[in-house]
């Protein structure tokens, strides 16, 4: 199956990948857009894994204020070089992640940061909710509820607000593939007016 320049453009807009990568993805998938997207995501994950050991000391702190000053976010995102930190792609990444945090209020960056006692409390709660269910489905229900909990409180596993078909981690992976160097979310804080009163 052949593909046209409009297919390359559409894939670039969706994935943020380079022209040659999009051509290769469409070639490998015989012009099938869904398979091309999967090809690019897999390639991005491989690149992310390869670059994940690199030291990230540069980057930026982004601020975002929403709802007439009712919600504010500060996020530190690191990369390998100050050159990349000054690119439009990096600035777009930091802004989008700050907006994600403002909109979805995560508490942690990823699952590894959730304290074990919090996970155990959630698990106990879910187990008490399914105590009257048949034994063979209890565990699956509890696992499903626990995954839903992680999606609510962990930034990287949340659906990305600008494209809910992917997670924030998928979005970050695509940006790492495009920028060509390791990028890490170091920390963030979200303020909401009157939230602790």
The model's pLDDT over 148-179, given as tens digits with 9 standing for 90+, comes to 999 999 999 999 999 999 999 999 988 888 88
Residue 187 banded pLDDT, cuts 50, 70, 90: very high
* One domain for residues 147 and 185: no
pLDDT at 1 (0 to 100): 54
Q: Over 70: is that where the pLDDT of 141 sits? A: yes
Domain residues for the domain of 120 are 115-152
pLDDT of 134 reads 83
Q: By the 8 A CB rule, do 59 and 77 touch?
A: yes
At 49 the pLDDT is 60
8 Å CB contact between 191 and 72:
yes
86 φ/ψ angles, rounded to the nearest 5 degrees: -95, 0
CATH number for 35: 1.10.8.10
Tens-place pLDDT, residues 39-90: 777 776 566 666 666 678 899 999 999 878 899 999 999 999 999 999 999 9
Q: What is the mean pLDDT of the chain?
A: 86
Rounded CA-CA distance 157/152 in Å is 8
Check whether residue 27 and residue 46 sit in a common domain: yes
104 and 159 belong to one structural domain? yes
Whether residues 86 and 105 share a domain: the answer is yes
Q: Is the pLDDT of residue 91 over 70?
A: yes
Residues 95 and 174 in one domain: yes
| pLDDT for position 131 | 83
197 belongs to a structural domain: no
Q: Which of 8-17, 43-52, 134-143, 152-161 has the highest mean pLDDT?
A: 152-161
Q: Based on C-alpha coordinates, what's the Rg of the chain? A: 20
Identify the helix (H) or strand (E) that includes residue 78.
strand 71-79
Average pLDDT over residues 137-148: 89
User: Is residue 77 included in any domain, yes or no?
Assistant: yes
Residues 177/71, Cβ–Cβ less than 8 Å: no
- Check residue 75 and report its DSSP letter: E
Tally of domains within the chain: 3
Residue 87 belongs to a domain:
yes
Cα–Cα distance measured from residue 100 to residue 160, given in angstroms and rounded to the nearest whole number: 7
**Are 138 and 163 in a shared domain?**
no
């Amino acid at each position: 199956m052949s593909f046209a320049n409009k297919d390359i453009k559409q894939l670039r807009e969706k994935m943020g990948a380079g022209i040659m990568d999009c051509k290769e993805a469409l070639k490998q998938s015989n012009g099938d857009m869904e398979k091309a997207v999967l090809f690019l995501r897999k390639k991005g994950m491989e690149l992310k894994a390869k670059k994940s050991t690199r030291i990230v000391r540069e980057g930026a702190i982004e601020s975002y204020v929403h709802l007439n000053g009712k919600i504010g976010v500060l996020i530190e995102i690191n990369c390998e070089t100050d050159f990349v930190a000054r690119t439009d792609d990096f600035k777009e990444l930091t802004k989008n992640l700050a907006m994600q945090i403002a909109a979805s209020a995560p508490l942690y960056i990823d699952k590894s940061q959730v304290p074990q006692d919090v996970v155990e409390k959630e698990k106990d709660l879910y187990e008490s909710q399914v105590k009257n269910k048949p034994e063979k489905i209890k565990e699956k229900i509890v696992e499903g509820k626990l995954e839903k909990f992680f999606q609510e409180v962990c930034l990287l596993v949340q659906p990305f607000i600008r494209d809910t078909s992917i997670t924030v981690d998928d979005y970050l992976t695509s940006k790492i593939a495009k920028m060509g160097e390791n990028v890490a979310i170091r920390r963030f804080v979200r303020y909401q007016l009157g939230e602790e009163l």
